Structure 1
Amino acid sequence: MNEIQNWLQQLDQTTQEWLSQLDDDATEAELTWQAFPDGHSIGALLVHIAEVEAYWLHHIACGEPYQDLEGEVLHAEIDQFGIKWPTPPPHPLSFYKSLLVTIRERTKTLIGALDNPRHTALRGEREFTLAWLMTHVIVHEAYHGGQAVLLQLQQRNATR
């Protein structure tokens, strides 16, 4: 297995680990629940994870035009440091999983087609290596995926 395939496998393993901890029977109310006004929700986190993967790996790494995800745009409205997360549209977990799968399949196609693990890409004037881009997306996803799992536990305990 080459470096690029190894990074893609790590990304898949990261996703499987946290996603398997979310209950498939999560309700739309649970997926849009925010512990406090403008706080994170599971649905917003899942859309954000998909958008960040598409932005950094499809757009920056591979030069694909950046497209909003099926009209479910949350990225532009998020202020992570000011903690302002919009309420996502109510959808079942299967919708969000499908979004993640669609983006991941595109990632595997685009990144898998790269033949140089030393590939670099520009964002403005700044150059990024493929290693940095893949690591950034893996760490970002693990961070927010863990938040999604914790939010589900927190929401269920808050409504008991």
Structure 2
Amino acid sequence: MTTTEMPERQEPALDADELSMLVGWLDYHRETLAAKCSGLTDDQLRTASMPPSSLTLMGLVRHMAEVEQHWFGNVFGGEQGAPLYFTDEDPDGDFHPGPDATYEEALATWRGEIAKARAHAEGHALDDLSTGTSRGGQHFNLRWIYTHMIEEYARHNGHADLLREGVDGSTGD
């Protein structure tokens, strides 16, 4: 499968309120990852282009589906969602798409987890606290979760930049 649609990315308004700014930047980074995967075949998306690392673009998408589920569903929403890709035998299974893994499935799962994340956050104030706690027993406010998610995507989008360039030479935003 070749992905051909280039996701639309829009930076938040320069004068947005805090919630709109955080949601806007998170959505921008979500679409950046999608853009880095756009136009590639499943084989290219499974290519670890930066040896000795085994990191792939498809692995990043699968990982971010896990991250969306963890922070918005499990931690903030109090759900006990089963892991999507990792197992006790392969705790990094999200990063290890096998030869039968498809981007179509990974993308649908990731988009589904983003939709669930939005539903968990909808109607909440930034100071609202999570159901789940840190290892130290503290609750996270929604502001912290949004900020952490932006950081998580920004870091992995840097990886995606290098992976994409290694796959087909593409560079840019």
TM range (shorter): 0.7 to 0.9
Moved more, 46-55 or 26-35: 26-35
Paired position in structure 2 for 1:104 = 114
Structure-2 residue corresponding to 1:81: none
User: Any stretches of 5+ residues in structure 2 without a counterpart?
Assistant: 1-15
Q: Give the distance between the partners of 2:152 and 2:79, measured in 1 at CA.
A: 21
Q: Is the 8 A contact 1:33 1:42 kept in 2?
A: yes
List runs of 5+ in structure 1 lacking aligned partners. Answer: 79-83
Name the structure 1 match of 2:44: 30
Report if aligned partners of 1:50, 1:100 keep a CA contact under 8 Å in 2: yes
Provide the aligned length of Structure 1 versus Structure 2. 148
Which residue does 2:81 correspond to in 1?
A: 66
Q: CA deviation at 1:37?
A: 4.8
> Map of 1:113-128 to 2, 5 A cutoff?
113-114=123-124, 116-121=125-130, 122-124=133-135, 125-128=137-140
Q: Select the structure that is richer in helix.
A: 1
- How big is each residue's C-alpha offset from its partner over 1:8-55, in whole Å with a ceiling of 9 and x where there is no partner? 23211111234223332x122211122335521111111111111110
Counterparts in 2 of 1:17 and 1:38: CA distance versus 1, 3 Å: closer
CA distance in 1, matches of 2:160, 2:34: 9
State the TM-score, normalizing by the size of structure 2. Answer: 0.72
Decide which of 143, 148, 155 is 1:143's aligned counterpart: 155
Determine if the alignment matches structure 1 residue 156 to structure 2 residue 168: yes
Q: State the Cα RMSD in Å.
A: 2.7
Q: CA deviation at 1:104?
A: 0.8
**Distance change in 2, residues 1:105/1:61 (3 Å):** same
The verdict on how the C-alpha distance between 1:54 and 1:2 changes in structure 2, with shifts beyond 3 A counting, is farther
CA shift, 1:85, in A, is 8.0
Q: CA deviation at 1:3?
A: 4.3
Cα 1:99–1:155 shift into 2, 3 Å: same
